[in-house]
């Protein structure tokens, strides 16, 4: 498609955008379990107002735009306090992947400086996010992948056996994405400490729900900076923090450790250059929207959203177990779950066929494998439609008995 010879009218462009998105997942109706997390009208209103104010602002140079520097300090500082990082420091990034990339880069730089390791290794379970492999690829590290234990958490004995004098980073998740279980962070941190490696906790999914579950009296295993040896934590404001997309945080235990994240270059005609992330220019819009949403909700707002989200997740899990032929993989702790076929039903039922039937009814769930399953991230937007989802799930099971889907793909990607 070429650019138009003459600029088009405003209303015509908006009409075409509306047409283009007609087949997009219907997150506004609560019919997606992931991708977009809906905090409700009050959250939309403040996020959109802040986005409009900062639509064109650039966080490349916070000396020129000090408001963005202050916004970043407040967002990072408030979450460092919530995660018991008395001396923690960090930066905002564009998302969980970039936060993880920066954790990988920081581990590499520290190991090079302090341990003389040129090409290090990352030790991680096969449940850890693919972004760690992306980071290893980008930054010249090797990955040592260990299968999860029977409960889908990191297998501590296997992880211990994989650690060598080249290990620069040990990875745990709180919770991990595929099945929603929390890895044994205390044991993993002890393994990392024993070889002076970094320990990263991927809390992109849990960072804005686990602290509030704990405040509500739920029992959560230790996973944050209260655990000795944890050096970095990633958490996404644009997931259960309910901010628009483009807002994540990486926290380091101290400012001294944070320095390994920042890239600096002082031999450029343009002057001294320093960048804390993969980006140079950074949009101020997601930063301001994230700050505004966090301020609008406050602790009580997040506790309210967490309570309804966790109650709905438990309701859906109970509803899945009540449907003959279905079960939940592992024992998820918070808002994540993977729905699969129960033992004894694999000859009669195919979870991907069930997923196709759900899609025909307007629901969107991601596919996973090992085992084949449908992945759901419950959030506030799903609360009003939970009963309808369970009814449609039961109908989809009944409608697909004896059928199997030909398409076995499990893509979570942007490919052309």
Query: Could you give the domains of the chain?
Result: 46-296 (3.40.640.10), 298-399 (3.90.1150.10)
Q: Quote the pLDDT of residue 61.
A: 87
Q: Quote the pLDDT of residue 415.
A: 53
CB 202 within 8 A of CB 171: yes
Q: Quote the pLDDT of residue 396.
A: 98
Q: Quote the pLDDT of residue 26.
A: 85
* CA–CA separation, 170 and 162 (whole Å): 10
Name the token pair of 17: 């955008």
Q: Quote the pLDDT of residue 324.
A: 97
Q: Quote the pLDDT of residue 263.
A: 94
- Among 365, 371, 364, smallest CA distance to 330 is for 371
Per-residue pLDDT of the chain (416 residues; tens, 9 = 90+): 889 999 999 999 999 999 999 988 888 899 999 889 999 999 999 999 999 999 999 999 888 999 999 999 999 999 999 999 999 999 999 999 999 999 999 999 999 999 999 999 999 999 999 999 999 999 999 999 999 999 999 999 999 999 999 999 999 999 999 999 999 999 999 999 999 999 999 999 999 999 999 999 999 999 999 999 999 999 999 999 999 999 999 999 999 999 999 999 999 999 999 999 999 999 999 999 999 999 999 999 999 999 999 999 999 999 999 999 999 999 999 999 999 999 999 999 999 999 999 999 999 999 999 999 999 999 999 999 999 999 999 999 999 999 999 989 887 655 56
Helix/strand/coil percentages in the chain, nearest 5: 40, 15, 45
Q: Quote the pLDDT of residue 412.
A: 64
CB 106 within 8 A of CB 261: yes
* CA–CA separation, 294 and 79 (whole Å): 10
For 364, phi then psi, to 5°, come to: -125, 120
Q: Quote the pLDDT of residue 48.
A: 97
Q: What is the DSSP string of 313-351?
A: HHHHHHHHHTSTTEEESS---SSEEEEEEPTT-TTT--H
CB 80 within 8 A of CB 251: yes
Q: What is the pTM of this model?
A: 0.95
CB 120 within 8 A of CB 142: yes
Q: Quote the pLDDT of residue 411.
A: 74
In terms of Cβ atoms closer than 10 Å to its own Cβ (0-12, 13-18, 19+), residue 11 is exposed
Sort residue 279 into left (φ over 0), alpha (ψ -120 to 50) or beta: beta
């Amino acid at each position: 498609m070429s650019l138009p010879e003459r600029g088009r009218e405003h209303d015509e462009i908006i009409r075409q955008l509306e047409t283009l998105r007609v087949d997009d997942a219907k997150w506004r109706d609560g019919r997606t379990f992931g991708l977009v997390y809906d905090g409700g009208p009050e959250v939309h209103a403040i996020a959109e107002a802040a986005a409009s104010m900062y639509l064109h602002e650039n966080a490349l140079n916070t000396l020129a735009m000090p408001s963005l520097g202050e916004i970043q300090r407040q967002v990072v500082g408030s979450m460092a306090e919530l995660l018991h990082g008395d001396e923690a420091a960090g930066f905002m990034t564009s998302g969980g992947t970039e936060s993880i990339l920066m954790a990988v880069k920081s581990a590499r730089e520290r190991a090079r400086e302090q341990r003389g390791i040129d090409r290090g290794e990352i030790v991680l379970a096969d449940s850890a996010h693919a972004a760690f492999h992306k980071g290893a690829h980008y930054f010249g590290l090797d990955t040592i992948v260990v299968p999860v234990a029977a409960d889908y958490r990191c297998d501590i004995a296997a992880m211990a056996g994989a650690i060598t004098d080249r290990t620069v980073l040990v990875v745990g998740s709180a919770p991990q994405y595929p099945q929603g279980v929390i890895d044994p962070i205390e044991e993993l941190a002890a393994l990392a400490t024993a070889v002076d490696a970094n320990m990263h906790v991927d809390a992109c999914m849990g960072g804005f729900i686990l602290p509030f579950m704990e405040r509500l009296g739920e029992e959560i295993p230790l996973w944050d900076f209260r655990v000795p040896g944890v050096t970095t934590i990633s958490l996404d404001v644009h997931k259960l923090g309910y901010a628009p997309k483009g807002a994540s945080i990486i926290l380091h235990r101290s400012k001294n450790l944070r320095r390994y994240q920042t890239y600096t270059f002082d031999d450029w005609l343009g002057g001294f250059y320093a960048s804390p992330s993969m980006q140079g220019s950074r949009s101020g819009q997601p930063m301001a929207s994230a700050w505004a949403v966090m301020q609008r909700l406050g602790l009580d707002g997040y506790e309210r959203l967490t309570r309804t989200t966790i109650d709905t997740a438990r309701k859906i899990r109970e509803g899945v177990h009540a449907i003959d032929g279905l079960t939940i993989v592992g024992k998820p702790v918070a808002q994540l779950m993977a729905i699969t076929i129960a033992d004894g039903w694999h000859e009669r039922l195919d979870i991907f066929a069930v997923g196709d039937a759900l899609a025909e009814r307007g629901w969107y769930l991601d596919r996973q494998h090992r085992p084949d399953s449908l992945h759901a991230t419950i959030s506030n937007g799903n609360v009003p439609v939970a009963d309808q989802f369970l009814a449609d799930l039961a109908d989809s099971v009944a409608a697909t008995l004896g059928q199997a889907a030909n398409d076995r793909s499990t893509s979570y990607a942007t490919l052309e």
